[in-house]
Structure 1
Amino acid sequence: MFKLATTLLLTGLACAACVSTTNNNSSTYLKDAFAPHFMMGTAFNEQQISGQATEDVQLALSHFNAVTPENIMKWEVIHPSPNEYNFAASDQLVALANEHNFFLIGHTLTWHSQTPDWVFKTPEGNLKDREALLALLKEHIYTVAGRYRGKIQAWDVVNEALNEDGTLRNSLWLQIIGPDYIEKAFQFAHEAAPNAKLYYNDYNLFKPEKRAGVIDMVKRLQAKNIPIDGVGLQGHYALDYPDLSLLEDSIVAYGDLGVEVMITELDVSVLPFPEEEEMGADVSINLALQSKFNPYANGLPSSINSQLSDRYEELFKLFLKHQDKISRVTFWGVNDRQTWRNDWPMQGRSDYPLLFDRNNQPKDAAQSIIRLTQ
Structure 2
Amino acid sequence: MNAQETSLTLKEAFKGKFLIGTAMNAYQIMGKDTAATNIIKKQFNAIVAENCMKSERIHPREDKFDFSLADKFVQFGTDNNLVVTGHTLIWHSQAPDWFFVDDAGKMVSKETLIARMKNHIQTIVTRYKGKIKGWDVVNEAINDDGTYRSSKFYQIIGEDYIKLAFQFAREADPDAELYYNDYSMSIPAKRNGVVAMVKKLQKQGITIDAIGMQSHLGLDNPDIKDFEASLEAFSSLECKVMITEMDISILPFPDKNAGAEVTKSFEYKQQMDPYRESVPDSVTTAFEQRYLSFFKLFEKHKKAVTRVTLWGVTDANSWKNNWPVPGRKDYPLLFSRNYAPKPIVDKIIKQTLSE
Looking at structure 2, the residues matched to 65 and 166 of structure 1 have their Cα atoms a distance apart, in angstroms, of: 34
1:320-366 Cα offsets, whole Å, 9 max, x none, are 11111100100000110110000001111000000111111111221
1:71 and 2:51 correspond: yes
Match of 1:352 among 318, 328, 331: 331
- What SS does the aligned partner of 1:368 have? helix
User: 2:142 maps to which residue?
Assistant: 162
Write the letter of the residue equivalent to 2:45.
N
Identity of aligned residues (%): 47
**SS across alignment from 2:315:** coil
Q: Which amino acid aligns with 2:307?
A: R
Cα deviations across residues 92-129 of structure 1 (Å, max 9, x unaligned)? 01111011111100000000000011100112111000
Structure 1: gaps (5+ residues): 1-20
Q: 2:297 is aligned with what amino acid?
A: L
Name which of 277, 284, 290 aligns with 1:305.
284
Instruction: Give the aligned partner of residue 197 of structure 2.
Output: 217
1:20-59 deviation per Cα after TM superposition (whole angstroms, max 9, x unaligned): x767894110011011211001000000000000110010
Distance in 2, matches of 1:251 and 1:176, equals 32
Alignment match, 2:206:
226
CA distance in structure 1 between the partners assigned to 2:82 and 2:4 by the alignment = 31
User: What is the one-letter code of the residue matched to 1:319?
Assistant: F
Query: Residue 82 of structure 1 aligns with which residue?
Result: 62
| Alpha-carbon separation, structure 2, partners of 1:274 and 1:195 | 43
How large is the Cα RMSD of the aligned pairs? 1.2
Which residue identity does 2:202 align to in structure 1?
Q
Which residue identity does 2:305 align to in structure 1?
I
Q: CA deviation at 1:275?
A: 2.5
Whole-Å separation in 1 of the counterparts to 2:18 and 2:340: 23
The whole-number CA distance in structure 2 between the counterparts of 1:242 and 1:368 is 22
Which residue pairs with 1:276 in the alignment? Answer: 256
Pairing of 1:34-45 with structure 2 (within 5 A): 34-45=14-25
Give the conservation status (yes or no) of the 8 Å contact 2:6–2:346: no
| Contact 1:142-1:188 at 8 Å conserved across structures | yes
TM-score (norm: length of structure 2): 0.97
SS in 1 for 2:155: helix
Q: What's 1:117 paired with?
A: 97
Asked if the contact 1:156/1:201 (under 8 Å) is kept, the reply is: yes
In structure 2, what is the Cα distance between the partners aligned to 1:347 and 1:148?
Answer: 35
Which runs of structure 2 are paired with 1:81-100 in the superposition (5 Å)?
A: 81-100=61-80
| Residue-pair matches, total | 353
Classify the secondary structure of the residue corresponding to 2:338: coil
> Which residue of structure 2 aligns with residue 15 of structure 1?
none
Q: 1:61 is paired with a residue of what secondary structure?
A: helix
Aligned to 1:55: 35
Corresponding position of 1:249:
229
Q: 5 Å matches for 1:122-133?
A: 122-133=102-113
Whether contact under 8 Å (1:164, 1:209) holds in the other structure is: yes
